[in-house]
């Protein structure tokens, strides 16, 4: 099979059967286009012609590029190539996997940065008016407040929040979230976030909806269309500037803060794993390192021989 056809088949597989997110599929497509071009430049057009030596040479050349690529980018590139060849073996298109001896680059251990509770409150206040305040003519402010409240209250990914439908909130104090691979999970919603969303639904969304063609999506843009990931990022950036938060603040920052604050409050790591939608508890355990400072403070203040 030609390499370009093999890549097309693999991309269809991860899109339709595995249900990967659009931006993930787009990243794999870019990576594999570069891989196929690199092989084509060396006269390799068929999947049967790919050898472990070629795969190793490709990985080494990419790792030695200038400027030096990030370890995370190299890891994703190698994941794309490995995924392609494993798929070809599973489908019986090739007999051997030339990536078996490919070793992914070692990623640096980076602890996620979380906001303090005070910083989160400043961010929320900067996003828009609190429920119950004068909100006449401030549809965008009500929407932005509800969006940021929901991101922090649930720890959901920004892609998950912008895909929410109004009916996903129909169960009162819980939210139905569709995560990676179209897996659904149920996440509780606190009273503050629920009040902000209710205010948005009652006083802002009807107005926004009249400007568009009609959609079930919960969050709408100013023209009535579903709010995009990019627009949600922009909402958060404006709120961060309004709150005078100099550190980089992204939707993932709120996800990190959600997990960190839960663990600092005594939540079990497996409960946090379920709330975040992590497939493995090992992914969630990185947040336990963030709470070490809080543990030290408690220890220092409580243990008679801590000082």
Residues catalogued as catalytic: 157, 180, 252, 255, 278, 287
Exposed/middle/buried for 221, CB within 10 Å: 0-12, 13-18, 19+? middle
Do 276 and 285 touch, CB atoms closer than 8 A? no
Identify whether the C-beta of residue 128 lies closer than 8 Å to the C-beta of residue 245.
no
With contact defined as beta carbons under 8 Å apart, do 162 and 229 qualify? yes
- 192 within 8 A of 143, measured Cβ to Cβ: no
Q: CB under 8 Å to 33, separation ≥6 — which residues?
A: 7
For 52-74, letters b (16+ CB in 10 Å) and e give eeebeebbeebeeeeeeeeeeeb
> Cβ–Cβ contacts within 10 Å for residue 157, how many?
20
């Amino acid at each position: 099979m030609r390499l370009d056809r093999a890549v097309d088949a693999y991309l269809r597989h991860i899109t339709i059967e595995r249900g990967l997110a659009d931006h993930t599929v787009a990243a794999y497509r870019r990576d594999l286009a570069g891989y196929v071009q690199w092989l084509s430049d060396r006269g390799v057009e068929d999947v049967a012609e790919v050898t472990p030596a070629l795969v190793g040479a490709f990985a080494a050349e990419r790792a030695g590029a200038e400027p030096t690529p990030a370890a995370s980018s190299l890891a994703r590139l190698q994941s794309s190539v490995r995924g392609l060849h494993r798929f070809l073996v599973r489908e019986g298109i090739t007999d051997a996997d030339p990536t078996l001896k490919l070793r992914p680059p070692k990623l640096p251990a980076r602890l996620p940065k979380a906001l303090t509770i005070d910083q989160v409150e400043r961010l929320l206040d900067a996003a828009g008016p609190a429920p119950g305040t004068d909100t006449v003519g401030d549809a965008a402010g009500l929407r932005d407040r509800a969006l940021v409240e929901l991101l922090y209250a649930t720890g959901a990914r920004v892609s998950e929040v912008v895909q929410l439908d109004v009916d996903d909130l129909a169960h009162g104090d819980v939210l139905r979230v569709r995560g990676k691979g179209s897996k659904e999970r149920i996440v509780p919603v606190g009273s503050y976030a629920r009040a902000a969303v209710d205010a948005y639904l009652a006083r802002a969304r009807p107005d926004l909806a009249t400007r568009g063609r009609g959609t079930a999506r919960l969050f709408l843009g100013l023209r009535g269309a579903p709010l995009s990931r990019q627009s949600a990022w922009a909402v958060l950036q404006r709120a961060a500037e309004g709150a005078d938060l100099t550190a980089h603040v992204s939707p993932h920052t709120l996800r990190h803060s959600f997990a960190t604050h839960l663990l600092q409050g005594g939540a079990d790591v497996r409960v946090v794993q379920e709330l975040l939608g992590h497939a493995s508890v090992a992914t969630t355990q990185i947040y336990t390192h963030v709470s070490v400072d809080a543990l030290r403070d408690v220890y220092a203040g409580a243990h008679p021989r801590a000082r």
